[in-house]
Structure 1
Amino acid sequence: MRSDALRRRELILRTARQLFAEHGANIAMESIADASNVGIGTLYRNFAARPELVEEVTLDMLQDVKSAAEQTVDRLGQHDLTAWDEFLETLIKLNLGALSEALGVQLPATVGGRIMDLQRTTVKVVNEALELAKQENLIRQDITGNELITGIGIVTRPLPRAFAKAAPGLSQRLTRIMMDGMKPNPSLHPATPAGS
């Protein structure tokens, strides 16, 4: 694929991802084409039908999580402790909750092998990063990888409009509360006395 065609495909993919998160995966394909500044024919040349686009957005999201987790594993392996908080912030910015909700409606009941394979490797790397964070006492010892991703997914789901309008900033506050709740709990894991 030529570099300009590849850039156009990536733009469509990123635009679809953003629109899916904001409006759901049922958004008109024409709206995705318009927001991507391409014609509808170009959109369909890149993604023959909505299920293909939904699958590619899902793969793109999983790849972003996997890449962020791999970087975190590398950095924590070098004792760069800032990596963990940056990883959590990246997961929040990926808008996992909104995307998962939107994509879940459109994905077929039997998810394809490409998604399942990438999901398995992504979970493995997230768990590696989590274990390194536990070794460095950056996160509570009792949290699992599934709880971590599910928790972030829940707090990044869009609030109902009435809540969002009545309490601006509520999503960010709830996210911060959840992040604070994942920090190590000294009452569960008392420090070892000096000299023991």
Structure 2
Amino acid sequence: MGTTTAQQQSAAQQPARPRLRADALRNRERIVAAAREVLVEHGAEVSLDEIARRAGVGNATLYRHFADRRELVHHVTVSVMERIADQAEAALAEEPDAFSALRRFVHAAADERVGALCPLLSDGWIDKEHSDHIAARTRLEDAIGALMAAGRDSGQLRADIDVGDLMVALTQLTRPLPGGACVNFHLFVHRHLQLFLDGLAAPARSALPGSAATLEDLKRRP
């Protein structure tokens, strides 16, 4: 289900929301956090009633903040990107070396449920040209790029990978498997991420097939 030009213009022209009271802001943050969890588990078609229940608010409260499902999904994806960018910037600024920063970021991004983004981006729920989305995406790309550049410059990160490789692995390893057979999937995510990180360390133990994947590569349609 794509987004029309009219919908894009309408979203871009929406007036800024008034500043929220502290209690209203907390409710809004709880709704976005709950939606992030539920969207990962069940996809974008999940009942808004379930999101409200998970957030601990009434349906009326949810609709006071978000007019419809598309607006809620928009805010969830922007929130995920902003929070992951926060994690990348903080790791690079605070960790003693570049690979420790990368390791910290990867595990923190997993906790932010980065796997929520890919299905939403690919299924037409997101207006990718909305100014909020462009700003959050650009900041995220820059933050991860800086983190990986520091790793390469220090000689700790193998040179034959790029941001796209990292994001593919992160999204794949943090998305629950379909169906209910692997109910304890979340218990193994960080373990598998650590195995992946070991494979990123220099010197590389093998030659990778193909070429390093950039974010531009991931955006191209076949």
TM-based fold match above 0.5: yes
* Residues 164 and 170, structure 1, Cα contact 8 Å, conserved in 2: no
The aligned amino acid for 2:156 is L
| Structure 2 equivalent of residue 191 of structure 1 | none
Indicate the structure (1 or 2) with the bigger Cα radius of gyration: 1
> Given the superposition, is the C-alpha separation of residues 82 and 170 from structure 1 closer, same or farther in structure 2, using an over 3 Å criterion?
closer
| Residue of 53, 66, 84 corresponding to 1:47 | 66
| Structure 2 equivalent of residue 158 of structure 1 | 176
> Given the superposition, is the C-alpha separation of residues 66 and 47 from structure 1 closer, same or farther in structure 2, using an over 3 Å criterion?
same
| Structure 1 equivalent of residue 217 of structure 2 | none
Q: How many angstroms apart in 2 are the aligned matches of 1:113 and 1:178?
A: 34
> Does 1:24 find its partner at 2:43?
yes
* Residues 159 and 171, structure 1, Cα contact 8 Å, conserved in 2: no
* Residues 59 and 118, structure 1, Cα contact 8 Å, conserved in 2: yes
Partner of 2:160: helix, strand, or coil?
Answer: coil
- Is there any run of 5+ residues in structure 2 with no aligned partner, and where? 1-19, 207-222
| Structure 2 equivalent of residue 142 of structure 1 | 160
Query: Once the 2 structures are TM-superposed, how far is the Cα of residue 186 of structure 1 from its aligned partner?
Result: 4.9
| Structure 1 equivalent of residue 32 of structure 2 | 13
> Does 1:72 find its partner at 2:87?
no
The aligned amino acid for 1:26 is E
The aligned amino acid for 1:59 is V
Query: Once the 2 structures are TM-superposed, how far is the Cα of residue 124 of structure 1 from its aligned partner?
Result: 1.0
> Does 1:122 find its partner at 2:132?
no
| Residue of 28, 52, 63 corresponding to 2:82 | 63
- The structure whose residues are more often helix, as a share, is 1
Q: How many angstroms apart in 2 are the aligned matches of 1:159 and 1:138?
A: 32
Q: How many residues align?
A: 188
- Is there any run of 5+ residues in structure 1 with no aligned partner, and where? 189-196
| Structure 2 equivalent of residue 97 of structure 1 | 115
| Structure 2 equivalent of residue 35 of structure 1 | 54
Q: How many angstroms apart in 1 are the aligned matches of 2:88 and 2:104?
A: 10
TM-score (norm 1): 0.82
TM-score (norm 2): 0.73
| Structure 2 equivalent of residue 88 of structure 1 | 106
* Residues 126 and 145, structure 1, Cα contact 8 Å, conserved in 2: yes
Identity over the aligned pairs, expressed in percent? 27
The aligned amino acid for 1:67 is D
Query: Once the 2 structures are TM-superposed, how far is the Cα of residue 2 of structure 1 from its aligned partner?
Result: 0.8
Q: How many angstroms apart in 2 are the aligned matches of 1:158 and 1:134?
A: 31
Instruction: Answer with 2-11 or 34-43: which moved more.
Output: 34-43
Partner of 1:123: helix, strand, or coil?
Answer: helix
Partner of 1:164: helix, strand, or coil?
Answer: coil
* Residues 176 and 186, structure 2, Cα contact 8 Å, conserved in 1: no
Query: Once the 2 structures are TM-superposed, how far is the Cα of residue 23 of structure 1 from its aligned partner?
Result: 1.2
> Given the superposition, is the C-alpha separation of residues 10 and 145 from structure 1 closer, same or farther in structure 2, using an over 3 Å criterion?
same
Instruction: Please report the RMSD computed on the Cα atoms of aligned residues, expressed in angstroms.
Output: 2.8
Q: How many angstroms apart in 1 are the aligned matches of 2:127 and 2:26?
A: 31
Query: Once the 2 structures are TM-superposed, how far is the Cα of residue 187 of structure 1 from its aligned partner?
Result: 5.4
* Residues 25 and 103, structure 1, Cα contact 8 Å, conserved in 2: no
> Given the superposition, is the C-alpha separation of residues 103 and 45 from structure 1 closer, same or farther in structure 2, using an over 3 Å criterion?
farther
| Structure 2 equivalent of residue 184 of structure 1 | 202
